[in-house]
Structure 1
């Protein structure tokens, strides 16, 4: 908490101000929204998770357009996490189905 004088008031105001000396400058580069990753994840068979990841990606892009860089970065991280979980889960489901189909196909072969 620091005491600062405002332009409209001769009295000090107690408010929180960030200090360059105490807070290191954050990376202000454009945050990623991971939209391509979210679209690719939509083709995996984990639909509730990948659709939510896609929505978070769109929300990240909208936050960046509104100037909320921290919000866009946070939403982009959630979109990336959900998209990666969807891709890994989808790969596991596809492999499990392929193994199950292969096993059931081999059991139907009869030798006379």
Structure 2
């Protein structure tokens, strides 16, 4: 009777059939991938190339260097002064870097100025907090009555 499974025969004999397709194809392999040669690549343009030169009337005109992003200052002020305004300064620094990468020099200047102002504000807030907390600690210590001479 076809379609019934005979459990008395071993498994290797049950599935041993010459009509089955081979496990591996004998067809030829597809051609291998070859990377394009150097001459086929697009020219590599770095950030410095994009910011240092702008296309003007079909010519490359030199311009001024890119604005600073103040990232290191932003991270330090975020860690040591005031984290809320420090995080905003980090965001403005990242925005400056993104605008430089996109070639938007004027937008990068605005973001750079914003990052600098936020860093200055963060430093002023941090120094103000240190002075306030120091004076508060001195006041509490002098007027607490716990002094023993």
TM-score, length-scaled by structure 2: 0.53
Name which structure has the greater RCO, CA cutoff 8 Å, separation 6+.
1
Counterpart in the other structure of 2:141 = 105
How far residue 72 of structure 1 moved from its aligned partner, in angstroms, is 0.9
Deviation at 1:111, TM superposition (A): 5.4
Partner of 2:118: 82
Q: What is the alpha-carbon distance in structure 1 between the residues aligned to residue 85 and residue 137 of structure 2?
A: 25
Secondary structure of the equivalent of 1:28?
coil
The number of residue pairs the alignment matches comes to 87
Instruction: Report the alpha carbon displacement of residue 49 of structure 1 after superposing the two structures with TM.
Output: 1.4
Structure 1 gaps, min length 5: 1-26
**What TM-score comes out, normalization by structure 1 length?**
0.69
Q: Distance in 2 between matches of 1:110 and 1:28?
A: 62
**RMSD across aligned positions (CA):** 2.0
Unaligned segments of structure 2, at least 5 residues = 1-62
